[in-house]
Amino acid sequence: MSDLGMFFGLLGAAVAVLFAGAGSALGVGIAGRAAAGVVTEDPNKFAQVLILQLLPGTQGIYGLLVGFITLSKIGLLGGGDITVSLPTGLMILAACLPIGIVGLISGRSQGECSAASIGIVAKRPDQFGKAMLFPAMVETYAILALLISILAVSNIPV
């Protein structure tokens, strides 16, 4: 039974890294296509559009963050003898769900938003500060999900 607990704990880490990472990959990809288009027209805007492209990349990092905390929680990273009971494993899985799912959806949405902001920079480069803000709005919800995931994972007694 203890193995099954470990399995669900690991599944939690996987869910966090996998979905949040996939969201970021989608988002950065969407924004990257828009950025490449702008750079074709005006190579001088490279730095600005690169920053906008990178904005949806944070969800993947949040997923990694939760994944890492989870792995050290269940003792896979140099923790030694920790037995994870089945209920604990399931709890860890549940704790990982917010950042996984919100990371996926917000990463993608933030990518679309970034692409639109890259459009702002293409036409009005002086409005970079404002353009940067719209994708950052989407990210708020990834941060809230991250917060709950971190608090939940670190407060589950093992």
Whole-angstrom distance, CA of residue 12 vs CA of residue 57:
21
Task: At 83, list the tokens.
Answer: 């037995």
Q: With binding defined as CB under 8 A, does residue 133 bind other proteins? A: yes
Q: Phi and psi at residue 77, in whole multiples of 5°?
A: -110, 80
Exactly one of 11, 51, 97, 158 binds other proteins (CB under 8 A); that residue is 51
Binding mask 59-98 for other proteins (x = CB under 8 A): --xx-xx--xx-------xx--------------------
CA dihedral 8, 9, 12, 16 (to 10 degrees): -160
Q: With binding defined as CB under 8 A, does residue 8 bind other proteins? A: no
Q: How far is the CB of 128 from other proteins (least distance, A)?
A: 7
Measured from the CB atom, the residue of 1 and 15 that comes closer to other proteins is 15
Q: With binding defined as CB under 8 A, does residue 101 bind other proteins? A: no
Q: How far is the CB of 131 from other proteins (least distance, A)?
A: 9
Task: At 43, list the tokens.
Answer: 């190579």
Specify the length of the chain in residues: 158
Q: Is 158 helix (H, G, I), strand (E, B) or coil?
A: coil
Whole-angstrom distance, CA of residue 94 vs CA of residue 107:
20
Q: How far is the CB of 25 from other proteins (least distance, A)?
A: 15
Measured from the CB atom, the residue of 7 and 68 that comes closer to other proteins is 68
Whole-angstrom distance, CA of residue 56 vs CA of residue 94:
24
Looking at residue 151, its amino acid is: L
Binding site for other proteins (CB under 8 A): 51, 54-55, 57-58, 61-62, 64-65, 68-69, 77-78, 127-130, 132-133, 136-137, 139-140, 143-144, 146-147, 150-151, 154-155
